[in-house]
Amino acid sequence: MRALVITGPHRAEVQDVPEPVPAAGEVVVDVQRAGICGTDVEFFTGEMAYLHTRHAEYPMRIGHEWMGTVSSVGSGVDPAWIGWRVTGDTMLGCGVCRRCTQGRQHVCEDRLELGIRGGKPGALAEKVATPARSLHRLPDGVDEAAGAMVEPGGNAFRSVQAAALGPGDRCLVLGPGTIGLLSALFARAAGAEVHVLGRSERSLAFARTLGFDGVWTEEQLPQVAWDAVIEASNAQHLPAKALELVEPGRRVVYIGLAGVPSPIDTRGLALKDVTAVGVLSASPGLAGTIDAYASGTVDPRPLIAATVSLDDLPAILAGERPDGAGPGPKFHVAL
């Protein structure tokens, strides 16, 4: 089968590789749609931290935002899965440690991460193998495009849950990338007044098309009370800015990651009685995201700039935007 392989920093190509065979407890999925994200770009550039901690190494096969149809199952898996449209969890815990048995497999010390960590091949390929326990069925109301947006949506869903927003609360999202915009959409669905802060005029212009209550640069940001701040950028200074901006007694959610340490002053955290929550993965939010997409409460599809072929990906990972691409931050591959 054909798969995208990153062979080294700034080197990616489509290769013919052996088709996966499902191990015990696994299924093989015929991938229909997959997305790329900032993590994938960092693997391409060589900046991803896992490359330096030896949790990942080249050559590697990326892809952790996907949907498809189950085509075969391994021993111990109910064959009724065959033919189901599914997506799956990226975080594949060992299943036996204390964290896994308590439902926190996404922070298992020995976890694999599909297309990211531990050498588990990803879904930017015609087929992918993954444990059956990681699967989530997709209802008919979730099409291929939305199905491949469940994983980033799960991160955003959890961020809004962590922000504890209610109707009438005012939420500020820092960073108008995919996760930030999805967080803003989920926050609006929760009844909040939603504002987005960004930097580039292209991303800000696109955010304005989504109808949020305000879209700002740092210089333009009004001095109002922010009941929750969701920090979804990669800017080194914005985690501290989020703590500065949030109302006393309310919540800051940290989901963005800078490429360098981004310190905060814990005196501000304590003296303002602020709750700070870190969000690592989509895992506990996948089911809720699927429900929101199926009901139409949140529609992630406007964020997709273009759907391309596997052969187009090396250029996109290198920063090119294909002719005719829309203004959104997300690229999908149709397989």
Q: What is the CATH number of the domain that holds 238?
A: 3.40.50.720
For the chain, how many structural domains are there in total? Answer: 2
In a domain, 163, yes or no: yes
- Judgement on whether residues 194 and 263 belong to the same structural domain of the protein: yes
- Judgement on whether residues 74 and 99 belong to the same structural domain of the protein: yes
The long-range contacts involving 315-318, CB below 8 angstroms and separated by at least 24 positions, are 316/36, 317/12, 317/36, 317/40, 317/41, 317/44, 318/10, 318/44
CATH number at residue 132: 3.90.180.10
In a domain, 82, yes or no: yes
- Judgement on whether residues 10 and 119 belong to the same structural domain of the protein: yes
- Judgement on whether residues 166 and 103 belong to the same structural domain of the protein: no
In a domain, 318, yes or no: yes
- Judgement on whether residues 92 and 168 belong to the same structural domain of the protein: no
- Judgement on whether residues 196 and 312 belong to the same structural domain of the protein: no
In a domain, 32, yes or no: yes
In a domain, 181, yes or no: yes
- Distance, in Å, from the CA atom of 153 to the CA atom of 285, rounded to the nearest integer, reads 8
User: What pLDDT shows up at residue 284?
Assistant: 96
In a domain, 289, yes or no: no
Angle between the 150-163 and 286-295 helix axes, to the nearest 10 degrees? 100
Average pLDDT per 10 consecutive residues for the chain, totaling 335 residues: 98 98 98 96 95 96 98 98 98 96 95 97 98 97 98 98 97 98 98 97 96 97 97 97 98 94 95 98 97 98 97 96 95 97
CA count, 13 A, side-chain hemisphere, 25: 6
- Judgement on whether residues 159 and 81 belong to the same structural domain of the protein: no
Q: Which tokens hold the place of 112?
A: 């694999």
- Judgement on whether residues 123 and 210 belong to the same structural domain of the protein: no
- Judgement on whether residues 143 and 158 belong to the same structural domain of the protein: no
- Judgement on whether residues 160 and 107 belong to the same structural domain of the protein: no
User: What pLDDT shows up at residue 22?
Assistant: 98
User: What pLDDT shows up at residue 259?
Assistant: 83
- Judgement on whether residues 13 and 117 belong to the same structural domain of the protein: yes
User: What pLDDT shows up at residue 122?
Assistant: 98
Beta-bridge mates of residue 130: 27
Residue 167 belongs to domain spanning: 154-278
- Judgement on whether residues 132 and 170 belong to the same structural domain of the protein: no
